[in-house]
Structure 1
Amino acid sequence: MSVLDEDKKKLIVNEIEAWRRGKMLPEQYCDFLQNLYLDDLADKPKNMVGAAIQRINKATRKEWFLVFGLFVSICLIVLHFSVFPLLLQIAIVGLGTSGFVAGSAWWRERLPKRAYLLTLGGVLYLLASGVALLKLHGWTGGPGPLILTGICALVWIVCGIGLRIGLLHWAGWMAVVALYASLLWQHTSDPSRFEVQLYWLPASLLFSWLSWFAHAKFKSAGGVLFGTALVLWFMPELYSALLGIKGGFIIGEWIAKALLLSVILYRFRKKWMEWVV
């Protein structure tokens, strides 16, 4: 068999494996198709571990050096991160996060599970490295945590919209909610029940309107914004409970708002379901 035919066979076998991982065809169909192109059934990967071992076994010298160099570079960066200049530390955090995002975007259509894992890795990397920066430079007691929360929120929202990952998008808005709550706690003192409601309910109504406005162009964004609006609807009670503001009225307010929300959702169910589903 010529080298060209062998390369074509490998390409087809790898494509069938991609179909198997992506659940595009039933398992038995993938086995049947793969057996047509495998001369030796021992070459067939039994699972992900077997496929990984085969891939390592067939790796070229260039790939070995590339992986080894990448591993050594990561170790050196981790071990010497604290002695790097601040700008270099920020650049490393930004480049690392960008790498996770780029990988997730690359595998988004072909291997969604791998894309989600890379997205999760990017979220954890940005958060962990950001906290490490705050601790290294003694910024944990000042505005540092708020700035980190804002940066994480911005990155998660943009990446969630761009990669069409609703959970990441929603996590970004939850970070915004946490940032807003922190700012309220720092700049308000002993607010009344009416003031607490006024802090949050207009935002809930705003996100409800944004859910309707955005669902036509960004289908997944409609559900995310609607979910954020629901969280904001009950945030006054949660905010009051966390800070001990007028605790005796929290349960009554929560029940009344839950009943009101149930009536509104039932009354307009045919409209808001179009935004979310």
Structure 2
Amino acid sequence: MNSENRVDIILKEIDYWRQNRLLPEHYCDFLQNLYIEQAGTANKNSTFSIQAMKQGNSKVWLLGFLIFSLICGIGFYFSLFPWPLQMATTLLVTSVSYTFAAVKRPRDKRISLFWAFGGNVLLLGLGGWMLQLHQAILPQNVAILILCCGILWWVTGHFLQLEFITYTGLLCFILLYALLLKHLHTDSSWLLLQLYWLPLSGILGWLSWFSHYKIKFMAPVWFAAAITIWFMPELDLRLILQIYPKPFMLWVMVKLALAFVILYVLRKKWMVWISNETVSTTTTN
């Protein structure tokens, strides 16, 4: 067995440990990077490695030219495509980006995150561009686009176990909830908005605790969403309802101070929820 095959087997074993939570995430990342650096597989397996470009590899340069030409062609002629081709192009480029993210995930989480986030940007950007080109920027169409993005980002992040991508999917759902509140209550007060948002923050905080025992990688996602929703009444009031009362900054500072107090008092609990340490269980007779 040559060294490359041996390293591939080790990397697959490390990924198995990560998927089944046999080791903490940061330990798996450390071992993974250690074996990649020692074997020198990072540059050897990289299609667009600097060494390959220096050596004048014709396949690398041709592939790079084709990709660059494709990006330019889509950018320049996307507005001229009929809408079925625009939709097909959007789905194709985002699918390619997510596929690269899935392929890179077992070996390099950061590169996988880069490709997945690129797919998110492409889906949202091209989808919004389509609505603008066809003069279809209506509230219901925007809501459908946000919903589609939220579902796809959530599924992608959950499948690849990329916390930030899953969090972006949650942000879409949070935004949809804010738009729904605006549609139902156009003149909501600050106190009423607290009643609409703060219980959700508490529920997501509980889900962070629950996920710590059941679905470990989701715990920091729920926690980040809970923190976001904690400040959503103020963001909703200012950005969506576009109301700026005089004591607005005072309310923000009070909410911020209260959040710091709660986080400080409960620091020994929530830091365990969002950490990568495995949950230790003890049995008592």
The question of a shared fold, defined as TM-score above 0.5 by the shorter chain, is answered with: yes
TM bucket (normalised to shorter chain) is: 0.7 to 0.9
Cα separation, partners in 2 of 1:67 and 1:256, compared to 1, 3 Å: closer
TM-score (norm. length: structure 2): 0.71
Aligned identity (percent) is 34
Q: Tell me which moved more, 248-257 or 189-198.
A: 248-257
Aligned equivalent of 1:24: 34
Aligned equivalent of 1:263: 261
Total equivalences in the alignment: 248
Structure number with larger C-alpha Rg: 1
Aligned equivalent of 2:57: 57
Does the 8 Å contact 2:198/2:229 carry over to 1?
Answer: yes
Show CA shifts across 1:195-219 (max 9, x none).
1111211211121122122222322
Equivalent runs, 1:164-243 vs 2, <5 Å: 164-242=161-239, 243=241
Cα separation, partners in 2 of 1:257 and 1:25, compared to 1, 3 Å: same
Cα separation, partners in 2 of 1:74 and 1:248, compared to 1, 3 Å: closer
Aligned equivalent of 1:123: 120
For residues 75 and 185 of structure 1, the distance between their equivalents in structure 2, rounded to whole angstroms, comes to: 39
Aligned equivalent of 1:40: none
Aligned equivalent of 1:87: 84
Unaligned runs of 5+ in 1: 34-42
For residues 156 and 26 of structure 1, the distance between their equivalents in structure 2, rounded to whole angstroms, comes to: 29
Q: Tell me which moved more, 178-187 or 196-205.
A: 178-187
Show CA shifts across 1:195-251 (max 9, x none).
111121121112112212222232221111111101111111222233354622323
Equivalent runs, 1:12-161 vs 2, <5 Å: 23-24=33-34, 48-54=49-55, 57=57, 59=59, 80-161=77-158
The alpha carbon displacement at 1:105 in A equals 0.6
Cα separation, partners in 2 of 1:122 and 1:246, compared to 1, 3 Å: closer
Helix, strand or coil at the partner of 2:135: coil
For residues 143 and 69 of structure 1, the distance between their equivalents in structure 2, rounded to whole angstroms, comes to: 37
Higher RCO, 1 vs 2 (CA within 8 Å, ≥6 residues apart): 2
Aligned equivalent of 1:163: 160
Does the 8 Å contact 2:104/2:111 carry over to 1?
Answer: yes
For residues 253 and 74 of structure 2, the distance between their equivalents in structure 1, rounded to whole angstroms, comes to: 52
The alpha carbon displacement at 1:84 in A equals 4.1
Amino acid at match of 1:122: G
Amino acid at match of 1:24: L
Aligned equivalent of 2:245: 247
